Amino acid sequence: MIAGGGIVGAMTAMELVGRGCRVTIVERGRIASQTSGESSWAGGGILFPLLPWMYGDAVNRLTHSGTRFYPAICQRLLEETGVDCELLQSGMLILPAFDREQALDWCQRYDYVAQSASAAAFGVQSPAGDEALWLPGVSQARPPHVMQAMRAWLEQNNVTLLEGTELKPLSGSGSMHEWETVSGEKLRADKFVVTSGAWSFDLLKETASKLKIKPMRGQILLYRPQRNLEHMVYREGFYMIPRKDGLLLAGSTLEDVGFDPRTTETARDELRAKAVAIMPELAELPILKHWSGLRPGTPENLPTIAAHPQIENLYLNTGHFRYGLTMAPGSAKIVAALICGEQPFLDHAPFAFPL
């Protein structure tokens, strides 16, 4: 039984089905939609950490593995469900200021192609200087499409989707055989996995007091420019993502405001100013949409992917913070391997349960 139907829960289910397990996902809202700040629907879909040289090797290895698994997953989802995840290797242009030496060193170490480039030649303004860095290998997928495809695949593969069902926080220790819902129903299973995103700590605080997961709100704006970008552009914590159908995302904020999923005028003005600094023509354009999501924030962006040491049959796959869409395929493989008694494909020690 999987607690939470975001990208992490959905991909965990897919991996378990592949190992012959019978799976139920329990979801408070509805899978592949957003009702109260769920993160997966809201994400930008960049399959790469923003400035990966700022993160440790464990984050880089997990995101890298996800990036590698996406083409096969998206191809399979397209063939089996007809839903296109819009995987696109659109590359990313990094505008100054950034630490060029550190960036080039990282690219060499991780075997990533990086080229010096002129921002003007890419048709964008760069307020802090023209000398940008072009990473042609960076790709993106479109999160609402990925989630729709996953939902369709899970239904086709007989995963039970218990939607509109909220689980109660866990208490106690020992061996777990059932999990109670807020309406008092007791759901039985052999194994349980917590994939509840920003809400995971609320579910686990009595049984995992050292788990550090808190909501970190992110807001994004949507435009349809006459001349769209052909590549993703990043500048000092802000990014723009062009979609295949001419839409352009501008995001995102990083806000520590608890479980408040509202969008704000302040963030809209801030994001618009940053977008206009790169593409001045956006000043004249309407914002088509403005949304937010609550990321499962964790120190150093490290998720927990592990068995619970005191509760038999309980596993955690949560806390992927800014890169859950990218990390989900690798993370799902690790937790599925642990559940089925296999050796995970990646060293999972950095994602251990916090004691």
Ligand X SMILES: Cc1cc2nc3c(=O)[nH]c(=O)nc-3n(C[C@H](O)[C@H](O)[C@H](O)COP(=O)(O)OP(=O)(O)OC[C@H]3O[C@@H](n4cnc5c(N)ncnc54)[C@H](O)[C@@H]3O)c2cc1C
Closest by CA to 87, choosing from 41, 42, 51, 141, is: 141
Query: Do 161 and 25 meet the contact criterion of CB atoms below 8 Å apart?
Result: yes
Minimum Å gap between C-beta 159 and ligand X is 15
List the x/- string, 93-132, binding to ligand X by CB under 6 A.
----------------------------------------
What's the closest the beta carbon of residue 347 comes to ligand X, in angstroms?
21
Binder to ligand X among 52, 91, 215, 251 (CB under 6 A)?
251
**Quick one: which of 67, 290, 326, 330 contacts ligand X (CB under 6 A)?**
326
Comparing C-alpha atoms, which of 354, 355, 353, 298 is closest to residue 327? 298
Q: Smallest distance, Å, CB 57 to ligand X?
A: 18
Q: Does 325 bind ligand X (CB under 6 A)?
A: yes
Please report whether residue 270 would count as binding ligand X according to CB under 6 A.
no
Please say which residue, 6 or 52, places its beta carbon nearer to ligand X.
6
Options 52, 91, 261, 293; binder of ligand X; rule CB under 6 A: 293
- For position 39 contacting ligand X by CB under 6 A, the verdict is yes
Rule CB under 6 A: say whether 324 interacts with ligand X.
yes
In the complex, least distance from residue 198 CB atom to ligand X, rounded to whole angstroms = 6
Tokens linked to 227: 């001349």
Report the nearest approach of ligand X to the CB of residue 211 (Å).
13
Judged by CB under 6 A, does residue 215 bind ligand X? no
The least CB distance from residue 44 to ligand X, in Å, is: 3
320 binds ligand X (CB under 6 A): yes
**Of 8 and 211, CB closest to ligand X:** 8
Give least dist CB 81 to ligand X, A: 19
Contact characters 134-173, ligand X, x per CB under 6 A: --------------------------------xx------
Number of residues that bind ligand X (CB under 6 A): 42
Pick from 52, 91, 197, 329 the residue near ligand X by CB under 6 A. Answer: 197
Are the CB atoms for 243 and 289 separated by under 8 Å?
A: no
Q: By CB under 6 A, what part of segment 13-32 binds ligand X? A: 26-29
**Binding test (CB under 6 A) with ligand X, winner from 64, 322, 333, 348:** 322
Angle between helices 324-339 and 57-81 (to 10 degrees): 90
Would you count residue 297 as binding ligand X (CB under 6 A)? no
**Residue ranges binding ligand X (CB under 6 A):** 3-9, 26-29, 38-40, 42-46, 166-167, 195-199, 203, 218, 220, 251-252, 293, 295-296, 318, 320-326
